[in-house]
Amino acid sequence: MRRLNSAEMKAENRSRVLSCVRAEPLSRADLARRTGLTRAAITGIVDGLIADGLIVEGARAEAPVGRSPILLEVRPQARFAAGLNISREGYVLGLVDLCGDVTVAQTYAADEFASPDEALDFLCEELKRLTAAHRGDRFLGVGITAPGPLDAAAGRILHPPNLAFWEDFPVADALADRWGCPVRLENNAKALALAEKDYGAGRALGSFLELVVDTGIGAGIVLDGTLFRGTSGFGSELGHCSVDLHGPLCSCGNRGCVELYAAIPNILRYAQTQGMCFSSWEALVDAAEGGDASARGVVEQEAAYLACAATNAVNLFDLAGVVLAGTVTYRHALLAELLEQRMGGIMRHVRPIQVCASALTGDAAVLSSANLVLADFFGNKR
């Protein structure tokens, strides 16, 4: 491992302190204990961060005896990043401050543009409008999320199903050329897992599976606070793990992928084969919660498929929990309970596997996109 020079070490220590304060308000003494740095070193770093306007002194902490220490907090308005989510339905563009608060978000229809270049030209004009009130040196860059598969390192969307408009398009470079700023691209489910780790339910888990169930099934895995990406950036494609080796052929080339059974349109089609017709997952869950035994049976089937795939992930990575995201967060208690009951594996004899709903709601798409840039700024492990 290459040793850091003094300038690199100084920058590393500054990032560590800033990341700690980002997670929660801390006193100088707290920072010294968390980082292992001396009080003198902490004082120098904190003074520099305050001078740069990145952190401020906030309230005093409660202390059983003696003078209460002053807590340090990130100054939200010090910097901001933009987030752009590309989906089959359209685009969401917004701004996020240093504390992860979405200050503005706008939605645009997908069918307004004739080409990706035309879409980016329009979105850049919108970004210029949204950032007009902010000084240029406060702008950190743009994070982009999109359905996979994509090449995050190259900033290129590859060939996501039902999104031919963006197929094989170098969206990160194209936007960076237009806007002249750092641009990050990531799979939407992986980016959501990273944001969950920084702002949501993942903060208490450390290592977890973010399971996104919508029209497809996406996933992101965080291991000890680091987003797992794999050798080529395609790690955690849980939707294309097989739950039936004799099952139908998937577009990915595998057979019996869990997405073929448990994606929302597919579980609703299964309900039709059982003589039920539900227009949405929400309608199905409402019926199950209302005492409809047949509807509950369909939800149980969904839980069985998801539990099969999630158990594999838990066994492989020794995860602490599963965070549900997407459509299945609607009245999620029943599905979460069924998943906890059905998730097997060696770990269930040691500790229970926690299943909960994502704590990221509302503008989660903008937050998870912009957070790709914020994570770089704070020096967080990605």
Per-residue pLDDT of the chain (382 residues; tens, 9 = 90+): 566 677 878 888 898 899 899 888 999 999 999 999 999 999 999 999 999 999 999 877 666 655 778 899 999 999 999 999 999 889 999 999 999 999 999 999 988 888 999 999 999 999 999 888 766 668 999 999 999 889 999 999 998 877 889 999 999 999 999 988 999 999 999 999 999 999 999 988 989 999 999 999 999 999 998 999 888 777 888 989 899 999 999 888 899 999 999 999 999 999 999 999 999 999 999 999 999 999 999 999 999 999 999 999 998 999 999 999 999 999 999 999 999 999 876 666 677 789 999 999 879 999 999 999 999 998 855 5
Q: Three-state SS for 221?
A: strand
**Which amino acid is residue 201, in one-letter code?**
A
Strands 208-213 and 321-326 turn out to be: parallel
Q: Do domains 6-74 and 201-357 have the same CATH topology?
A: no
* DSSP output for 6-20: HHHHHHHHHHHHHHH
Question: Quick one: which of 83, 101, 100 has its CA closest to 92?
Answer: 83
Helices 6-23 and 39-51: crossing angle, nearest 10°?
80
CA distances from 250 to 135, 214, 303 (A): 49, 17, 20
Pick the CATH number of 6-74 from 1.10.15.40, 1.10.10.10, 3.90.1150.10, 3.40.50.300: 1.10.10.10
**Spatial distance between the Cα atoms of 266 and 268, rounded to a whole number of angstroms:** 5
Q: How many CA atoms lie within 13 A of 99 on its CB side?
A: 13
The DSSP call for residue 329 is G
Q: What local confidence, expressed as pLDDT, does residue 142 receive?
A: 96
Q: Does domain 201-357 have CATH number 1.10.30.50?
A: no
Q: Which two tokens stand for residue 131?
A: 């950032």
- Give the domain ranges of the chain: 6-74, 78-192+364-378, 201-357
Other CB atoms within 10 Å distance of the CB of residue 244? 14
368 closest CA partner among 331, 309, 322, 325: 325
Domain 78-192+364-378 top-level CATH class? alpha beta
pLDDT, position 161: 79
Q: In whole angstroms, what is the distance from residue 286 CA to residue 6 CA? A: 60
CA distance 146 to 289: 33
Of 56, 243, 85, the residue nearest 163 (C-alpha): 85
Which positions ≥6 away from 166 have C-beta within 8 Å? 86, 116, 146, 157, 160
Residue 345's pLDDT is what?
A: 64
Identify whether the C-beta of residue 217 lies closer than 8 Å to the C-beta of residue 325: no
